[in-house]
Amino acid sequence: MGIGSEVEIAKKGKVECEMVQPLSGQAIYVVLLRELKRYWRAKARIISSMAQSFFFLAIFGLGLGGFIGRFGGIDYLSYLAPGVIGMGLLFGSVFSGVSVIFDRQFGFMKEMLVAPVSRTSIVLGKILGGAVTASIQGVILMIVAGLMGAFTPTPALVAGALSAVGVMLLITAGFVGLGVAIGSVLSDFHAFQLLATFVMWPLFMLSGVFFPIEVAPFPLQVVMLFDPLFYGVELLRWCLLGAGTPILGPFGWLIALGVLIGFAAVMVGIGAYLFSRAQV
């Protein structure tokens, strides 16, 4: 007695039945609502992630920008802004997805899984919630960058900014999906550091945030073209600056949009699948 193996079973207890159940709008909505509430209450997290992006804009944009000056016809700050927004989106959404680990750790996952709703509804609510909260963060960054003078105020910018919001949702949906997939496979927080070092930072650095892809050596260019965030940042540049990298040609925005839609669809699919299979 007192050895605690049943506690272990309960904690590690495989909750494994896969249910064939219809999607429930109500269930998706309630999980989304929870994400929004939790996001709104974690003020420290919102502030610190925004401050981080602000430092990038202020220090690199103004500091390094003063040294580099203009290139490709635009200010370095303007060049940098979409990329920093992309960074905010990336980190916000991956962590939001990975938070399924916390739900498991703190037991709330069981409350969701024993309810008469499908896992797919739960995971879609989770992904939608992560996409919306990370995009809210992106919008705030966009406004901050705008106030710093990163974008030329024209009537076209209004339309561009509105489309940018749609683009943000698309980018974040893909990366929350990635986060959920990772969170469903990883078992604990200790892998967080690895995740940041080997997944998130490379995705960020290779997305063409700091330097245009044209100046990179050919092998690096190839690697960058495999970074989904590269296309996200491209599309944000099209929206907010009216042009993208020459490498993708005059219809670069269309290519970027296609890649992003594909990435989001695949990652949401993989995330939902791994989540449904995960053991609690």
Partner 1 sequence: MSRISIIEVKALTKVFDNEIRAVDGISFTVDEGEILGFLGPNGAGKTTTLNMLATLLRPTSGTATVNVHDILAEPDAVRRSIGYVFQDPTLDLELTGRENLDFHGRLYSLKRDVRRQRIEEMLELVQLTDRADDLVKTYSGGMKRRLEIARGLLHHPQVLFLDEPTLGLDPQTRRSIWEHIQRLNQDKNITIILTTHYTEEADYLCDRILIIDFGKIVALDTPDNLKARLEGDIVSLTFKDPAKMVKIRPLLEEKDWIRRISVVASDNSHATMSHMMQMMRGMSGRVGIGGMMPGMDSGNVRGGGKMPKRVRQMLAQSMGGEDDQRGLEGGSKRLNLLVDDGGHRIPEIVKLADASEVVLESVELHKPTLDDVFLSVTGRNIRDERGSFMETVRRHRIIREARGHRVRG
Chain contacts with partner 1 (rule: CB under 8 A): 1-17, 19, 21, 24, 26-27, 29-30, 33-34, 37-38, 41-42, 104-117, 187-188, 279-280
Smallest distance from partner 1 to CB 11, Å: 5
The answer to whether the beta carbons of residues 237 and 82 sit under 8 Å apart is yes
Closer Cβ to partner 1, 6 or 69, answer by number: 6
Smallest distance from partner 1 to CB 18, Å: 9
Query: Torsion over CA of 140, 142, 144 and 150, rounded to 10 degrees?
Result: 180
Per-residue burial over 22-58, b = 16 or more CB atoms within 10 Å of its CB, e = otherwise: eebeebbebbbebbeeebeeeeeebeebbeebbebbe
Closer Cβ to partner 1, 100 or 239, answer by number: 100
Closer Cβ to partner 1, 136 or 264, answer by number: 136
Report d(CA 148, CA 255) in Å as an integer: 30
Smallest distance from partner 1 to CB 2, Å: 6
Closer Cβ to partner 1, 115 or 156, answer by number: 115
From residue 68, alpha-carbon distances to 61, 82, 86, 211 in Å are: 10, 18, 21, 11
Smallest distance from partner 1 to CB 151, Å: 35
